[in-house]
Amino acid sequence: MSLNEVKKLIRTNRIKFIDLKYSDIFGRLRHITFPANRIDKVVREGLGFDGSSLPGFKPVTASDMILLPDLSTAFIDPILKEPTLSCFAQIYETTKKKRFERDPRYILEQAEDRLKKEIGCDEVLFQPEFEFYIFDRVEIITNKSMNYARFETEELQWEDKTGYLVFKGTGYHLAPPFDRSSDLRSQIINLLNAVGIEVKYHHHEGGRFSQVEIETAFAPALKTADQILLVKYLVKNLALSLGKSATFIPKPIYDEPGSGLHLHHYLTKRNISLFADTRAKNKLSKLAQYYIGGILAHTPSLCALTNPSTNSFRRLIASFETPISAFFSFADRTAAIRIPGYIKSWQELSIEYRIPDATANPYFALAAILLAGLDGVKNKIIPNDSPQPKTNKVINIPRTLNQALAELKNDHNYLTKTGIFPIELINVYIQAKEKEAESVAQRPHPFECKLYYGC
């Protein structure tokens, strides 16, 4: 969208404010708002901000940075009450001529460009599956004398007077009246469509506490990462406006299904998937096999970027259709990479990476997956197609965040050798995440008290 088109949109819709959205290094959505009548000045000069106030960005001694609107991402924001046009921003150094090397969007842009150049593909396409829980009441208390979290939903009231209770293991594709959030999900879809996000479908997921799924359509890598942040933004704000709470945390409830962010993915040349070869025994091209091999080989270190929370690894256990080792398979939902069995056209053959979750910074996660796949192609890495291969050592998924961070310390050359991921960023990221893990480890757990209180 050009500046003139944006200004016409502002006039036509009587827009009063422009909201610039961007991501910090941990994938948290940030924003700053300015009056719409300043659009020319901001497009020309940018909007200054304090980079030292964002962990991992800048030291206080050199903190000045600039946000420049990416007008191609502009949309009328359906959440904000005042008429507001939102768009994502690019982060620059103060010269406005040099992109900030730790800008998550810039890192993904570079990774996508590198892949296209070295493989010769036209498009890099992703399709995320958003799994999340919708609660009616949430209490989270953590202090020196109290640690607990309580989640309530109308789908599982202990004194329910309707009789329409959801029993364990029955939630998948459940219909109303058991499915209490169907209309809410349709409202979410209306919001997504309003901002230009195409949706395939929505449905109730396997979890009893109103676990749901929304799957969007394939889109280019950078657009997909933007959309991941927007979907979370729209879902959480709509739920809040209706007196509910939506969460993308991977494992909020013990012994119930976790929520992942499965990523379907393929590369195209002239609108045909480069992953397909109908002459091959398994219909996978050599490129696809090497690409899969690279992702699987680097999966332990990738987890530090695709599953960067202590809670992530409570989901990655041997149950609820979650992978615990790095292998690929057709139609197997315990595989780290699944080749969907219901693809109707080999020209659209895609792979599904089932490990990631929504605690990830989507720009880092997608960029890292691309670079891991590229490394597999360049080094012709043969992937494991079984959880118990006869000749190759099984690659296990880390059991904890600390294990994943240790893997990233030892295996990051595929990310940093081209300069796309600055080594300083990797180091800052690891230090921050180690601190997170330590802060969780230091706190007594309620179940510990149950186990050991009477010792």
> Among 5, 45, 50, 64, which one carries the catalytic annotation?
50
Per-residue buried b or exposed e for 116-151, using 16+ beta carbons within 10 Å of the residue's own CB: beebebebbbbbbbbbbbbbbebeeeeeeeeeeeeb
Known catalytic residue at 354: yes
Known catalytic residue at 205: yes
* Alpha-carbon Rg for the chain in angstroms: 22
Using CA atoms, how far apart are residues 144 and 37, in angstroms rounded to an integer? 49
Known catalytic residue at 114: no
> Among 103, 112, 352, 385, which one carries the catalytic annotation?
352
Known catalytic residue at 438: no
73 vs 20, 179, 289, 376, 423, CA distance in Å? Answer: 10, 34, 34, 32, 29
Using CA atoms, how far apart are residues 270 and 114, in angstroms rounded to an integer? 18
Using CA atoms, how far apart are residues 89 and 68, in angstroms rounded to an integer? 5
Known catalytic residue at 352: yes
The two tokens of residue 405 are: 């961070």
Strands 123-135 and 245-247: antiparallel
The two tokens of residue 125 are: 């396409």
> Among 38, 150, 333, 443, which one carries the catalytic annotation?
333
Rounded to the nearest 5 degrees, what angle is found at the Cα of 187, between the Cα atoms of 181 and 193?
135
Known catalytic residue at 321: no
> Among 77, 136, 179, 205, which one carries the catalytic annotation?
205
269 vs 123, 237, 263, 350, CA distance in Å? Answer: 7, 38, 20, 13
Residue 351: name the closest of 127, 130, 200 by CA: 127
Exposure on the CB side of residue 93, measured as CA atoms within 13 A? 8
> Among 105, 262, 298, 412, which one carries the catalytic annotation?
262
Known catalytic residue at 262: yes
> Among 185, 204, 354, 412, which one carries the catalytic annotation?
354
Using CA atoms, how far apart are residues 441 and 420, in angstroms rounded to an integer? 32
> Among 129, 256, 332, 375, which one carries the catalytic annotation?
129
> Among 131, 136, 226, 256, which one carries the catalytic annotation?
131
User: Which of the residues are catalytic?
Assistant: 50, 129, 131, 205, 213, 262, 333, 352, 354
